[in-house]
Amino acid sequence: MKRVIYALATCALIFASAACTCGNRNTKIPDENHDADVIDECPDGAVDLGIVMTREDGTTYRLYWAKSNLSEEGLCPNPEDYGDYYGWGETETKKEYSLGTYKWCKGSINTLTKYNTDSSLGIVDNGTELQVSDDIAHVKLGGKWRMPTFEEWTVLREQGVWIRTSQNGVFGCKVYGPNHKSIFLPAAGDMYNADLYNAGSYGFYRSSTLYLDATYFAWGIGLGSDGFGSNSLDRWLGFSVRPVTE
């Protein structure tokens, strides 16, 4: 029963918070050859979607998105590969994803030991963004690779065109950037305890940003057959990671 309640609550949150919908019938699929004459200088394994971010100090940077999900071996060979699943702030896969095995608590949601702003939920350190040592994308890939912030996911959500589709038989969303280039996000499901749920129906992608209203959650993105949107994702469950770099 607990698992059913979790799944329904998660799915409801995805679509209640969606800013727009995958595959809107008025959406025109971009031509990916639109900027074919532009020299692509993005790092290996990445796609330049034409997204430029602005830091708090006013400086800008071009954000590159990985072509595929993260696995224990690095980036997956194919965009439609599910990859592996990670708890928030954890740097390895596990046999079981639960509060009892989560690295940053002592078995319950009110015993957090790191990344917490609420004294009723455990030790307060006021950390709201993952340190690089706790960022699985940086740990696995090195260099400037890291998990995207929630702000970066939000910009992709707002500037991108998201199309529900299948690639090589795998359901997910193809996301076109402002320059018409694209990435594919498979609906890889999620790990709860030792079992994989929702694979082929829903996808949940982590960000590096804490959810401040309830710090046993972290921000992420969810996608499914009815749309996509912002999610507060349980920190201890296993979700997909799509890295970014600069």
* Tens digit of each residue's pLDDT (9 = 90 or more) over 115-133: 999 999 999 999 999 999 9
pLDDT band with cut points at 50, 70 and 90 for residue 225: confident
Q: Which amino acid is at 246?
A: E
Q: What confidence score (pLDDT) does residue 31 get? A: 63
Region 181-205: what's the mean pLDDT? 98
d(CA 121, CA 3): 23
d(CA 14, CA 70): 22
The helix (H) or strand (E) run that includes residue 8 is helix 2-16
Q: What confidence score (pLDDT) does residue 226 get? A: 82
Least confident of 31-35, 95-99, 155-159, 161-165: 31-35
Q: What confidence score (pLDDT) does residue 32 get? A: 59
- The sign of the torsion formed by the CA atoms of 170, 187, 137, 177 equals positive
Residue 213: CB atoms within 10 Å:
9
- The sign of the torsion formed by the CA atoms of 55, 220, 132, 161 equals negative
Q: Does residue 39 have a pLDDT over 60?
A: no
The pTM is what?
0.88
> Which residue, among 120, 97, 111, has the nearest Cα to 234 in the 3D structure?
97
Q: What confidence score (pLDDT) does residue 1 get? A: 31
Residue 200: CB atoms within 10 Å:
16
Q: Does residue 84 have a pLDDT over 90?
A: yes
Q: Quote the Cα angle for 150-52-75, to 5°.
A: 60
| SS3 at position 78 | coil
